[in-house]
Chains A and B, each alone.
Chain A
Amino acid sequence: MIKEEKLNLIILLVLFVIPFLAYLFNEPYLTTLTTKIVILSIAGIGLNFILGYGGLVSFGHAAFFGIGGYVTGILASHAQNSEQMFFFLQFDGSNQILFIWLISIIICSFIALLIGYFSLRTSGVYFIMITLAFAQMLYYFSISWPAYGGEDGLSIYVRNVFPFFNTMNPINFYFICFTWLLIFLTILKIILNSSFGLVLKACKENEERVKSIGINPFKIKLISFVFSGAITGLAGSLYTDLNRFVSPSVLSWQMSGEIMVLVILGGVARLYGPILGAVFYIILEQTLGGISENWQFWLGLIIILEVLYARAGIMSLFLKDSKS
């Protein structure tokens, strides 16, 4: 039973130490696994920003995760076989990871702006469904568009290049992802404590009151949605580099569900909740997967018990001042 700040610090510390331990005990797989945890955490904190703090239940965040992933895969694949990308433009992709991140963030923000602009006109269950529909649209598009592998996905063989670091070294790549996690945690903490964050939380509580003091809630929600999409998109970009492969499954509704599950498992509207959720999810996947072929059955059972009896998420199990 500890304070939230302390728990947050412990989580980061553990994540920091694991790859060194993995190196010491010669378990490189553990580093890859922790990298996956960190990337899913980034996707989760992106979603949690609007879901937890803004009350916007997006069931389509796989759209951004997948677009980030595909932008990375497409740029890298063009750079590798030096094929020209557009027929009107002399451009044959890039394998510079900094450039790829920039493009991923720009494109994901733009797509989030479009999706958000239409979806945010609705609310409640309609919002859940329309975000799902947009993600499905992109999913089916990725399956039936043959240029980049269609259903089979797209391999990029080597990770993209980061100046001075060899990204193929698991520990280097891990710390790149970990740095992104720290950056987003810091930015989000600043935003949530700012007046903007206050208004976003107010939109969740009572939209009418926000309107009555002269603030347009649509604008606030749209900006937050775009920001959230960009974060999750960057996570998708890192995920492609981690696996050196991207396939339509990153755009599927199961992916949206998975991101949402780890946000809720960890504890909604807690900044570090998704990290704990991702840790728990991956541990479950690994241990249950080792015990039984039907590990998802047990995962389902655990999630149901969690919903029915431990509603505030895993974070709250460790915390003294549990919010109700």
Chain B
Amino acid sequence: MTISLFIEQILNGLQFGVMLFLMSAGLTLVFGVMGLINLAHGSFYMIGAFAAALFAELTGSFMIAMIASFVAALFAGALTELIIIRKIYKRDHLDQVLATFALILLFSEGIRWIFGAYPLYLDIPNSLSSSFNLPFEIIYSKYRMMIILVGIIIAIILYFLISKTLIGIRIKAGQNDREMIGALGVDVTKLYTIVFSLGAALAGLAGALIGAIQSVEVGMGEPVLILAFVVIVIGGIGSIKGAFVGALLVGITDTMGRFLLPSFFSYFFDNASATSIGSSIASMSIYILMATVLIFKPSGLYGGKND
């Protein structure tokens, strides 16, 4: 195993991690501020990817496609919040799980209705389709590098948004005491709509960015959604910092597990069974990580209260 391959895998893990962060940021805020378990968050990821594929087809511009994904998911999020989600904030988790589970069915079938059952393809723009040469003879895809950069930039923007701006202060206050900020004259209903749609928009952007590497299809959001839940539970629900750390942990654990475990087991078993055992355990690794974190810190790495 060469060092360059190793670093390349670390970068892949990082890319996977920042993408998970885009997905988890909204999820963790929506849970932290509104106390809502949103299973339908993966649907916004899917909507973003489909919007990007559609606009890339229409305009031929990758940039416009990315903006379209953000805007489409933003609107889908706002609409969902206004029509359905705001009615279930005060319900118990059970009702929320059921209603958002139903929303997944609505969105998935709705998209299948409009776009058909076949996957769409979104191409990487020509300017980013080549590779970089990095030190240590590492060759790395420009596009994946761009995803890492976009993810980090958004993480920094979110950090400033939460810690330095008025809306960020309101979001944090909302996590601590919803009644009180309402009494202080903050329009809580509007705040909720903004947080929910912003989270949806970030998920949509993540879907579009990944859609260019993988295919754009119905049901693409749910596997990522489950990973995002793992991320926010590891990081501690409601914490953006936790989501960032959790996302990188999950991204790197998953990628490195798939990369290292098969060769690790080949010291003990023959090659074929080492590959199958290694990949079986690698696919479970992040869930093992999550269970371990929860056993030692029942409310996640940066989580405050348990619930």
Contacts of B104 in A (CB 8 A): 300
Cβ–Cβ contact B298 & A126, under 8 A: yes
Known: A137-B288, A308-B99. A130 touches B294 (CB 8 A): yes
Contacts of A136 in B (CB 8 A): 226, 287
Distance, CA A300 to CA B113, complexed state (A)? 14
Known: A132-B226, A144-B283, A294-B109. A304 touches B84 (CB 8 A): yes
Known: A57-B94, A307-B102. A144 touches B37 (CB 8 A): no
Number of interface residues of A (CB under 8 A): 42
Q: How far, in Å, is B284 (CB) from chain A's closest CB?
A: 5
Contacts of A84 in B (CB 8 A): none
Distance, CA A105 to CA B237, complexed state (A)? 35
Distance, CA A122 to CA B98, complexed state (A)? 21
Known: A126-B233, A130-B291, A308-B84. A296 touches B105 (CB 8 A): yes
Confirm or deny: B213 has a beta carbon within 8 angstroms of a beta carbon on chain A: no
Cβ–Cβ contact B229 & A297, under 8 A: no
Contacts of A268 in B (CB 8 A): 94
Convert A118-148 into 0s and 1s, putting 1 for each residue whose CB lies closer than 8 angstroms to a CB of B: 1001111110111011101100110111100
Confirm or deny: B112 has a beta carbon within 8 angstroms of a beta carbon on chain A: yes
Contacts of A59 in B (CB 8 A): 97
Confirm or deny: A275 has a beta carbon within 8 angstroms of a beta carbon on chain B: no
Q: How far, in Å, is A238 (CB) from chain B's closest CB?
A: 25
The 8 Å CB contact of B279, one of A118, A121, A144, is A144
Cβ–Cβ contact A308 & B298, under 8 A: no
SS class of chain B's interface: helix, strand, loop or mixed? helix
* Count of CB-CB pairs between chains A and B under 8 Å: 131
Confirm or deny: B95 has a beta carbon within 8 angstroms of a beta carbon on chain A: yes
Stretch in contact with the other chain, from A205-213, A227-235, A257-265: A257-265
Please give me the residue from chain B that is nearest to A130 by CB atom: B294
The 8 Å CB contact of A307, one of B93, B99, B226, B294, is B99
The 8 Å CB contact of B105, one of A57, A118, A123, A303, is A303
Distance, CA A296 to CA B112, complexed state (A)? 11
Confirm or deny: A18 has a beta carbon within 8 angstroms of a beta carbon on chain B: no
The 8 Å CB contact of B290, one of A130, A141, A253, A261, is A130
Cβ–Cβ contact A125 & B37, under 8 A: yes
Distance, CA A59 to CA B97, complexed state (A)? 9
7 residue pairs from A and B, CB less than 8 Å apart: A51-B94, A118-B291, A125-B307, A130-B294, A257-B101, A261-B98, A294-B113
Residues of A within 8 A of B (CB): 51, 57, 59, 118, 121-126, 128-130, 132-134, 136-137, 140-141, 143-146, 253, 257, 260-261, 264, 268, 294, 296-297, 299-301, 303-304, 306-308, 311
Residues of B within 8 A of A (CB): 31, 37, 84, 87-88, 91, 93-95, 97-99, 101-106, 108-110, 112-113, 222, 226, 229-230, 233, 237, 276, 279-280, 282-284, 287-288, 290-291, 294-295, 298-300, 306-307
In the A-B complex, the 5 residue pairs with the smallest Cβ-Cβ separation, listed nearest first, are A300-B105, A297-B109, A303-B102, A140-B283, A124-B307
Q: A129-B230, A141-B280, A297-B109 are in contact. List 4 more A-B contacts (CB 8 A).
A: A123-B306, A126-B307, A133-B290, A297-B113
